[in-house]
Chains A and B, each alone.
Chain A
Amino acid sequence: MRFTLSAGLAGLAMSTLLAAPAGAELTGDLRIFFNDQNPAPRAAIEGMVERFQAMHPALNIELTLIDREANKTQIRNYLTANAPDVNGWYAGNRMRPYVAAGLFEDVSDLWDGPMGEDLASTRPALTLDGRQWGVPYTYYQWGIYYRKDIFDELGLSVPTTWEEEKANCAAILASGRKCYTIGTRFLWTAGGWFDYINLRTHGYDFHMALTAGEIPWTDERVRQTFANWRELIDMGAFIDDHTAYTWQEAQPFLVNGQATAYLMGNFLVAPLREAGLTDDQLGFYQFPEITPGIPKAEDAPTDTLHIPAQARNKDAARAFLLYVASAENQTIVNEVLGQLPINRNATVADDKFIQAGFEMLSNATGGIAQFFDRDTDAEMASAGMQGFQEFMVMPDNLDAILQNLERVRQRVNSR
């Protein structure tokens, strides 16, 4: 199946090669460091490389797969010494340390061409200091994945407001279950809850100003966000002992029906299906409204490819990024990944959750945020998510937590 697909595409690629602009004759080595070894992303990047290779037979492409977590620390080493020609990373503020240190190549020239129009929706996420520093290949929605069968059993309908959400939760708790599963051992899951409650309480502009460090953490509006969050915590809505679990270890609570919902990114769907949940049992809904009338904004993290400033074969790297951005490639890659393409001419896979995400994000009039740890400064992200975890366990510590975050914010801003 995959073979015939790529063989067919190779043929297609050959025909596009003939039509490609002059100077497309690429030679030499192209070294790619990709930041995921999981089966789906691996198949996706390998497919990309295979098709690009077919277009440029004279090019010697060398693909290295790095573990997702390991890459987050290794990137500093390989960008400063022995850089590859293309490397995987994330959009938003997480690019900043490398952009500021001059380690990423400015690829605004690619964005000035037709590619920029095809990818227009993510241009802000790839822009720092007025220029673009990479090319996105996929993104995915966040939202609430819930047990439809249990909702039906309890006679609950999908909530659209905060009051309904809490009423549902009360009914779920009364049935002896927990409302939400979560594993905060690696902290970022709590960042998702903060993002959504803050986005729904005060809207996109406030959230972005806060994550950009322009608003004090001790601001009354920030306290309002935490007060809303606390309503759920005080109800006992989250599973017990979540500090001990990773996001994967929190899945069985949903699969076994001990908890009924999980606020997570769309990558949750694949493991849940593997664990035996059918599409009839699993549903998806958008995080409900909290403050009425605020346009809904969503978290939709974007994964990206970049050219290190020290890359040796930048021509080939640019050609590769152009191919990565193309509608044809984004359709195939996101079919494999089970995620959303960014190129507006690409086709969205025929899958219940991907379609739901596509529709939700197309109507996200409030705006698209990346994620707490991609929108904030790295140091702020670390301190913030630790604070969120502490808050979820000891909500009474809020004052101390916010003072600490404010101290970090002032230090980050004084740089």
Chain B
Amino acid sequence: MQRAEARRGWWARNQQRLAPWLFLAPGIAFFAVYVIVPIFQSFQISLFRWDGLGEARFIGLENYRELLDDRAFYVSLRNNVKWLVLYLLAIPAGLFIALFLNQQVRGIRLYKSLFFFPFVISQVVVGLVFAWFYNPAIGLWNPLIGLFGFSPMNVLGNPNTVTYGIIAAGLWPQIAYCMILYLTGLNAVDPEQVEAARLDGARGWRMLWYVILPQLRPATFIAVVVTVIGALRSFDMISVMTNGGPFGSSRVLAYYMFEVSLSEYGFRMGYGAAIAVVLFLIMMVYIAFFLWRMWREERGY
């Protein structure tokens, strides 16, 4: 032992400093190869005209110029915004279900599991189930709204309703997810503060707003993060339910990128990469905000 201490080698001297990096190395390596490098590759490919098979030809910013007057691009962008805004409804909805379920009743665990169930099913299955639900020939949706006197709708076949129909399907599991986040958050709410507030006469909404919600801040933060991410990767639902149709009205940027570059008729890698870059820049705004908040919180407000 002592002899080893005496001739402390380079490794022994630097062990403390190196160990974290060694443990991080596999993660960093994979993150670099599969995330960082492809980002730069996308930038590069977006400057070429390339069908993914043959020779790539450099065309500068031509792909971006074309994006500017591509009707389909704006439709996709608008749908992305709809997704971002409406998907956030999952947060209040999840909160209220969580508040509702946060009580000691016989069999409450069963109810909680049932509410959580949609999140367990794969997105593809949710998409399929909702596609059948909306199907104008065999679906339950039209008889259901018929009960309230509405005339039949073709939700997924109508360019004006299709995106909302898919978002509703996406909200179903997302609400369950937010609910679970809030349920765990509610466990951490300090009963003494609630007691104190009650003595001071706080009830109902005031109690929720001034006492409970501030204590749920960490849960809310995570819920916002996962919901925004969920909205931006809405690709699978769209692919299963409509393939971006009818005539492209339910596409989001991620789906449009897939369609032009990788789908059955898509051979425009450069154009797809340009869309990916735009999507990346939009996400950058959000990622920057996220990092800035993290940094602020690390410093202790």
Contacts and interface: CB of A to CB of B under 8 A. Distances in A.
Interface in B88-141: 134-137
A15 interface: no
Size class of the contact patch on chain A: 35 or more
B65 to A, nearest CB: 12
B53 A243 contact: no
Interface string B255-286: 00001001111111000000000000000000
29 contacts: A73-B262, A73-B263, A76-B52, A80-B53, A97-B54, A102-B54, A185-B245, A187-B245, A241-B154, A243-B154, A243-B156, A243-B158, A244-B156, A245-B137, A249-B137, A252-B137, A373-B265, A378-B267, A379-B266, A381-B265, A382-B259, A382-B263, A386-B245, A386-B247, A389-B245, A390-B246, A393-B157, A393-B159, A393-B246
Contacts of B135: 244-245, 249
A202 interface: no
A411 B51 CA distance: 14
Interface in B155-185: 156-159
A389 B265 contact: no
Contacts of A415: 49
Interface string A76-114: 100110000000000000000110111100000000000
Contact of A389 (B52, B246, B264, B266): B246
A17 to B, nearest CB: 38
A379 B263 contact: no
Interface string B275-301: 000000000000000000000000000
Name the residue in A103, A249, A379 with the highest tally of chain B Cβ atoms < 10 Å from its Cβ. A379
Nearest to B139: A244
A240 interface: yes
Contacts of B243: 185-186
Contacts of A253: 137
B248 A386 contact: yes
B243 to A, nearest CB: 7
A97 B157 CA distance: 32
Interface in A372-409: 373, 378-379, 381-382, 386-387, 389-390, 393, 404
Main SS of chain A's interface residues? helix
B71 interface: yes
Interface of A: 69, 72-73, 76, 79-80, 97-98, 100-103, 184-187, 240-245, 249, 252-253, 373, 378-379, 381-382, 386-387, 389-390, 393, 404, 411, 415
B242 interface: yes
A367 to B, nearest CB: 24
A253 B135 CA distance: 14
Contact of B157 (A100, A187, A242, A373): A242
B154 A240 contact: yes
B49 A100 contact: no
A379 B53 contact: no
A409 to B, nearest CB: 14
A393 B161 CA distance: 14
Given A243-B158, A379-B267, 19 more contacts: A69-B264, A76-B52, A76-B53, A97-B51, A97-B54, A101-B54, A102-B54, A185-B242, A241-B137, A241-B157, A244-B157, A379-B266, A379-B268, A381-B265, A382-B263, A389-B245, A393-B157, A393-B247, A411-B66
Contacts of B262: 73
A73 B259 CA distance: 11
Contacts, number: 87
A328 to B, nearest CB: 34
Contacts of B49: 415
Contacts of A187: 245
Contacts of A378: 264-267
Nearest to A378: B265
Contacts of A404: 71
Contact of A73 (B66, B137, B248, B264): B264
Nearest to B264: A72
Interface in B37-74: 49, 51-54, 66, 71
Contact of B267 (A97, A103, A241, A387): A97
A240 B53 contact: no
A240 B265 contact: no
A98 B53 contact: yes
B235 to A, nearest CB: 15
A69 B242 CA distance: 15
Contacts of A382: 259, 263-266
A72 B134 CA distance: 28
B154 A103 contact: no
A241 B247 contact: no
A101 B51 contact: yes
A217 to B, nearest CB: 15
Contacts of B154: 240-241, 243-244
A103 B247 contact: no
A80 B54 CA distance: 10
A237 B81 CA distance: 37
Nearest to A415: B49
Contacts of A411: 66
Contacts of B66: 411
Nearest to A403: B71
Nearest to B153: A241
B167 to A, nearest CB: 17
A80 B53 CA distance: 8
